[in-house]
């Protein structure tokens, strides 16, 4: 072990001396290798970032991996069972989807059908505080915005990582407010910014018109205008019969954490009353990985090709260098340096060159990523606060080491085979 | 007393040509510790080949080679490298100093060769001691380009001495130097014999040969004792 350590240190010292003595050659080797290592780092970094960006978008719109989503139509009995079952729990949250109109009464909203504000979906309904909704076509256009309203029994963010933009998120630990607090998504915020509407909300089945408080804006990945509200704050104005009204066009979802008993309890209870449910466990990563795997392999193959060209460069420079150092290697053998150590010296030089190159490529990639994040983070949210993925750093180091070994192997063999008699004949 | 070097019937034949050529033909040579031996002869007489066999660079086809009583005629390369490091010091006609290294680093080359590891402080001390032995410790930080031929050869001698070898093998060490500098180099080599080191000097220079304890003639691969008048 001690002998190995001595040889390793000797190879390292002599290798570093060799690199220092031939700076230009080392630089040329690095240049030829740089693009290859950079390609590997960029492909790996790009793939990791794309994975995360895609995954985070899908999680935003659906739910985090492992979450079980139980969907069911809005029926009075089913709603009661759901609310009873998830009440006070943190491992499950029920989300009731309703339609709400905010703004002037008795008008057709600017976006019938809760359509995105730059699209026209046609149709739409208008709802009154005391009764069911009716088609909006019959009413004149006015200053009102139609939104999808999601009423929640608890904090949904452990299941769907909604991204806060401005203001604050709903606080579930406090006493319910009389004026329900709303957090709107970015599309809804755009609508309220564009159309100055009175803060009066109408929901089908509500006992009266509601004056909501807007407390924040989130990014939920939804293209429709949507508002989030605490169910208990809405319940002050909306009796359970109204919440569960099948004619309101509502929908109900329960998000359940992995390993929670709620799924089994709820499906059993709902089955008992004959309510139709559909259950889905989110496994986005697995589905996405199979799709991205091929693409990543194709890019990695291309990067490997560029790396191979870099290896050819380092090999070329390495062979030329050994040719120039014949006397030095012969002399080193004469003073007792074993052949293995001579090979080790050449390999140490190419390995160190590979590592230096990898360090430069990783450093530049990280700096480039930071610059892209700063420059384009505002316009492209997925670029905001980007971190250089450690997988890309490891891939770069491995690429540098592999290139160093491949490029240095033949020169190392040549160096080890130089006869000592070279110094005698000189 | 056991001889430092004892060659018996060493024969070396150069093959791979149309007709094999005998370079060394039954050479017998004994060198005692602290003894200096000069080998003289015309070009192509086999002097350098004899030195190669002595220094374990090459292997004889026939004959035996005893180093301090140990038979080393058929050593594997790995053990030969270890012996070259621990028992031999080499000085060549060309100095073979690495131009990117300082004098001290060039001397240190013989210590950083994978044959055991010395801590930096001890390495530095031994390098300085070797440079002092040849009188150029003050040039330790100089690179070869800033040194004269004589100084460079002394660095090469310091490199040969730094591991306290049992045998010094010098192949025309003064060939590239003027007479005065050459004499100084021979002085440095002879100083090593005073510390018990055996010296085998291959030279064309009769004056330098005359300063050795014995002078041997190598003629067509046959070694003979020169008879002084």
DSSP string for A245-291 = -GGGT-EEEEEE-TT-THHHHHHHHHHHTT---EEEE--HHHHHHHH
Q: Among partner residues B83, B96, B112, which is closest to A331 by beta-carbon distance? A: B96
Q: Are strands B198-202 and B5-14 parallel, antiparallel or unpaired?
A: unpaired
> Hey, of A335, A340, A345, A425, which one would you mutate to test binding to chain B, going by the most B CBs within 10 A of its CB?
A335
In sequence order, what E strands does A153-260 have? 163-167, 181-185, 201-203, 213-219, 226-230, 251-256
Of the candidates B93, B208, B79, B95, the residue with the CA atom closest to the CA atom of residue B159: B95
Same domain, A188 and A295: no
Measure in Å the smallest separation between the Cα of B114 and chain A Cα atoms: 4
Measure in Å the smallest separation between the Cα of A399 and chain B Cα atoms: 28
Q: Find the closest chain B residue to A18 by CA distance.
A: B100
Contact flag A336-B57 (C-beta cutoff 8 Å)? no
Burial of B60 per CB tally in 10 Å (0-12, 13-18, 19+): buried
Does pLDDT of B226 surpass 80? no
Is residue B9 in a domain? no
Asked if A154 contacts A234 with a C-beta cutoff of 8 angstroms, the reply is no
Q: Are strands B167-171 and B198-202 parallel, antiparallel or unpaired?
A: parallel
Distance separating alpha carbons of residues A386 and A313, to the nearest angstrom = 33
Measure in Å the smallest separation between the Cα of A324 and chain B Cα atoms: 12
Same domain, A328 and A380: yes
Distance separating alpha carbons of residues B98 and B78, to the nearest angstrom = 24
Chain B residues at the A interface, defined by Cβ less than 8 Å, are 48, 51-52, 55, 57-58, 77-78, 81-86, 90, 92-94, 96, 98, 100-101, 105, 109-110, 112-117, 159, 171
> Hey, of A24, A321, A331, A341, which one would you mutate to test binding to chain B, going by the most B CBs within 10 A of its CB?
A331
Contact flag A337-B81 (C-beta cutoff 8 Å)? yes
Of the candidates B38, B32, B15, the residue with the CA atom closest to the CA atom of residue B228: B38
Q: Find the closest chain A residue to B78 by CA distance.
A: A338
Same domain, A355 and A369: yes
Domain count along chain A: 2
DSSP H or E run through B225: strand B222-225
DSSP SS3 for A204:
coil
Tokens read off for B223:
């070694």
Contact flag A336-B171 (C-beta cutoff 8 Å)? no
Question: B119: which chain A residues are within 8 Å (Cβ-Cβ)?
Answer: none
Contact flag B114-A335 (C-beta cutoff 8 Å)? no
Question: A423: which chain B residues are within 8 Å (Cβ-Cβ)?
Answer: 90, 92, 96
Same domain, A356 and A303: yes
Is residue B41 in a domain? yes
Q: Using CA atoms in the order A342, A345, A346, A351, what is the torsion angle rounded to 10 degrees?
A: 150
Q: Among partner residues A331, A341, A421, which is closest to B114 by beta-carbon distance? A: A341
Q: Using CA atoms in the order B74, B78, B80, B85, what is the torsion angle rounded to 10 degrees?
A: -170
- Chain centroid offset of residue B103 CA: 19
Same domain, A103 and A239: yes
Domain final position from A243, A262, A281: A281
DSSP H or E run through B143: none
Same domain, A200 and A220: yes
DSSP H or E run through A38: helix A23-61
- pLDDT of amino acid B229: 46
Question: B57: which chain A residues are within 8 Å (Cβ-Cβ)?
Answer: 334, 419-421, 424
Is residue B52 in a domain? yes
Domain of A112?
68-281
Same domain, A292 and A339: yes
> Hey, of B58, B112, B130, which one would you mutate to test binding to chain A, going by the most A CBs within 10 A of its CB?
B112
Q: What is the pLDDT along chain A (426 residues), one digit of tens a residue?
A: 555 577 888 888 888 888 888 888 888 888 888 888 888 888 888 887 777 777 777 778 788 888 999 988 777 788 888 888 888 888 999 998 888 889 888 888 888 888 898 877 766 565 665 666 666 566 777 889 999 999 999 999 989 888 888 999 998 888 888 889 999 999 999 999 998 888 889 887 777 888 899 999 999 888 999 999 998 888 888 776 556 555 555 678 999 999 899 888 988 888 888 888 889 898 877 777 777 788 778 888 888 888 888 889 889 888 998 998 898 999 999 999 999 999 999 999 999 999 999 999 999 999 998 898 888 877 666 677 778 888 888 989 999 999 999 999 999 999 999 988 766 655
Domain final position from A281, A314, A341: A281
Distances (CA, A) of B49 to A34, A326, B91, B104, B113: 47, 20, 15, 30, 24
Domain final position from A239, A263, A281: A281
Distances (CA, A) of A156 to A8, A152, A200, A230, A268: 57, 7, 25, 10, 23
- Token look-up 């449910």 returns A277
Residue A87: what are its φ and ψ, rounded to 5°?
A: -55, 125
Distances (CA, A) of B109 to A229, A349, B115: 78, 17, 11
Distance separating alpha carbons of residues B134 and B157, to the nearest angstrom = 7
Domain count along chain B: 1
Contact flag B58-A421 (C-beta cutoff 8 Å)? yes
Is residue B7 in a domain? no
Please compute the mean of the pLDDT values over residues B6-34 and round it to a whole number: 89
Which are the contacts of A293, defined by CB distance < 8 A and separation ≥ 6? none
Distance separating alpha carbons of residues A92 and A79, to the nearest angstrom = 15
Asked if A345 contacts A376 with a C-beta cutoff of 8 angstroms, the reply is no
Is residue B210 in a domain? yes
Same domain, A130 and A277: yes
Contact flag A334-B100 (C-beta cutoff 8 Å)? no
Q: Among partner residues B78, B98, B116, which is closest to A6 by beta-carbon distance? A: B116
The model's pLDDT over B124-170, given as tens digits with 9 standing for 90+, comes to: 999 999 999 888 999 999 999 999 988 999 999 999 999 999 999 99
CATH number at residue B181: 3.40.50.300
Report long-range pairs for A187-193 (Cβ below 8 Å, ≥24 apart): A187/A116, A187/A117, A187/A222, A187/A223, A187/A224, A187/A225, A187/A226, A188/A145, A188/A147, A188/A225, A188/A226, A188/A227, A189/A165, A189/A217, A190/A117, A190/A225, A191/A110, A191/A111, A191/A117, A191/A145, A191/A147, A191/A225, A192/A102, A192/A145
Expressed in angstroms, the distance from the first to the final Cα of chain B is 29
Is residue B152 in a domain? yes
Question: B58: which chain A residues are within 8 Å (Cβ-Cβ)?
Answer: 420-421
> Hey, of B113, B123, B160, B168, which one would you mutate to test binding to chain A, going by the most A CBs within 10 A of its CB?
B113
DSSP string spanning A104-165? SSSSB-SSTTT--TT------EEEETTEEEEEGGGSPB-SEEEEEEEEESS--TTTS--EEE
Of the candidates A410, A422, A417, the residue with the CA atom closest to the CA atom of residue A319: A410
Contact flag B82-A336 (C-beta cutoff 8 Å)? yes
Same domain, A197 and A247: yes
Of the candidates A351, A349, A340, the residue with the CA atom closest to the CA atom of residue A3: A340
Residue B100: what are its φ and ψ, rounded to 5°?
A: -85, -5
Contact flag A335-B55 (C-beta cutoff 8 Å)? no
Asked if A353 contacts A19 with a C-beta cutoff of 8 angstroms, the reply is yes
Contact flag B114-A338 (C-beta cutoff 8 Å)? yes
Is residue B134 in a domain? yes
Chain A residues at the B interface, defined by Cβ less than 8 Å, are 2-3, 5-7, 9-11, 13-14, 17, 20-21, 327-328, 331-341, 344, 419-421, 423-426
- pLDDT of amino acid B128: 95
Domain of B121?
35-57+86-225
Contact flag B85-A335 (C-beta cutoff 8 Å)? yes
**Total-model pTM:** 0.67
Same domain, A348 and A258: no
Q: State ipTM.
A: 0.89
Measure in Å the smallest separation between the Cα of A335 and chain B Cα atoms: 5
Burial of A359 per CB tally in 10 Å (0-12, 13-18, 19+): middle
Strand ordering across the sheet containing B21-31: B21-31, B5-14, B62-67, B70-71
B75 vs A247, which has greater pLDDT? B75
Q: Are strands A131-135 and B5-14 parallel, antiparallel or unpaired?
A: unpaired
Q: Find the closest chain B residue to A339 by CA distance.
A: B78
């Amino acid at each position: 072990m001690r002998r190995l350590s001595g040889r390793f240190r000797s190879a390292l010292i002599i290798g570093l001396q060799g690199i220092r003595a031939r700076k230009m050659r080392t630089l040329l080797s690095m240049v030829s290798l740089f693009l290859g290592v950079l390609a590997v780092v960029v492909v790996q970094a790009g793939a990791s970032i794309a994975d995360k960006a895609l995954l985070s978008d899908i999680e935003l719109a659906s739910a985090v991996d492992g979450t079980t989503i139980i969907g069911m139509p809005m029926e009075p009995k089913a709603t009661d069972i759901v609310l009873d079952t998830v009440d006070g729990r943190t491992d499950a949250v029920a989300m009731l989807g309703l339609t709400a109109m905010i703004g002037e009464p008795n008008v057709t909203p600017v976006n019938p059908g809760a359509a995105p504000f730059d699209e026209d979906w046609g149709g739409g309904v208008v709802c009154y505080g005391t009764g069911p909704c009716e088609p909006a076509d019959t009413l004149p256009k006015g200053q009102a915005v139609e939104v999808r309203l999601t009423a929640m029994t608890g904090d949904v963010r452990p299941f769907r990582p909604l991204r806060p933009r401005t203001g604050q998120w709903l606080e579930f630990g406090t006493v319910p407010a009389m004026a329900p607090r709303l957090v709107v998504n970015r599309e809804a915020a755009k609508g309220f910014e564009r159309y100055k509407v009175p803060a009066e909300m109408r929901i089908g089945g509500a006992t009266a018109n509601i004056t909501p408080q807007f407390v924040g804006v989130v990014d939920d990945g939804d293209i429709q205008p949507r508002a989030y509200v605490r169910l208990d704050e809405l319940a002050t104005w909306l009796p359970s019969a109204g919440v569960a009204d099948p004619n309101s066009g509502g929908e109900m979802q329960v998000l359940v954490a992995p390993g929670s008993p709620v799924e089994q309890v709820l499906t059993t209870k709902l089955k008992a009353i004959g309510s139709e449910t559909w259950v889905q466990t989110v496994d986005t990563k697995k589905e996405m990985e199979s799709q991205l795997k091929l693409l990543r392999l194709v890019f990695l193959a291309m990067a490997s090709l560029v790396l191979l060209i870099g290896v050819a460069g380092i090999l070329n420079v390495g062979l030329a260098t050994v040719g120039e150092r014949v006397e030095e290697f012969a002399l080193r053998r004469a003073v007792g340096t074993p052949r293995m150590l001579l090979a080790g010296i050449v390999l140490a030089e190419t390995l160190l060159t590979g590592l230096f190159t990898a360090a430069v490529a990783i450093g530049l990639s990280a700096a480039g990523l930071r610059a892209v994040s700063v420059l384009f983070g505002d316009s492209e949210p997925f670029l905001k606060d980007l971190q250089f993925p450690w997988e890309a750093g490891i891939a770069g180091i491995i690429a540098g080491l592999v290139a160093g070994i491949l490029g240095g192997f033949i020169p190392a063999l040549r160096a080890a085979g130089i006869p000592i008699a070279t110094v005698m004949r000189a | 007393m056991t001889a430092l070097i004892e060659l018996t019937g060493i024969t070396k034949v150069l093959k791979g040509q149309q007709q094999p050529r005998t370079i060394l033909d039954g050479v017998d040579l004994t060198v005692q510790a602290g003894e200096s031996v000069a080998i003289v002869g015309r070009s192509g007489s086999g002097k350098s080949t004899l030195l190669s066999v002595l220094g374990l660079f090459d292997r004889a086809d026939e004959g035996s080679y005893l180093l301090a009583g140990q038979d080393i005629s058929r050593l594997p390369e790995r053990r030969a490298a270890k012996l070259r490091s621990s028992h031999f010091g080499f000085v060549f006609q060309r100095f073979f100093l690495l131009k990117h290294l300082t004098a001290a680093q060039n001397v240190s080359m013989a210590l950083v060769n994978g044959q055991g590891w010395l801590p930096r402080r001890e390495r530095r001390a031994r390098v300085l001691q070797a440079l002092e032995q040849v009188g150029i410790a003050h040039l330790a930080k100089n690179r070869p380009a800033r040194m004269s031929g004589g100084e460079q050869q002394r660095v090469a001698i310091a490199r040969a001495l730094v591991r306290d070898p049992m045998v010094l093998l010098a192949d025309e060490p003064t060939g590239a130097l003027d007479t005065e500098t050459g004499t100084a180099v021979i002085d440095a080599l002879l100083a090593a014999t005073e510390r018990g080191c055996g010296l085998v000097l291959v030279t064309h220079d009769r004056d330098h040969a005359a300063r050795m304890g014995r002078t041997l003639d190598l003629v067509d691969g046959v070694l003979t004792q020169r008879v002084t008048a």
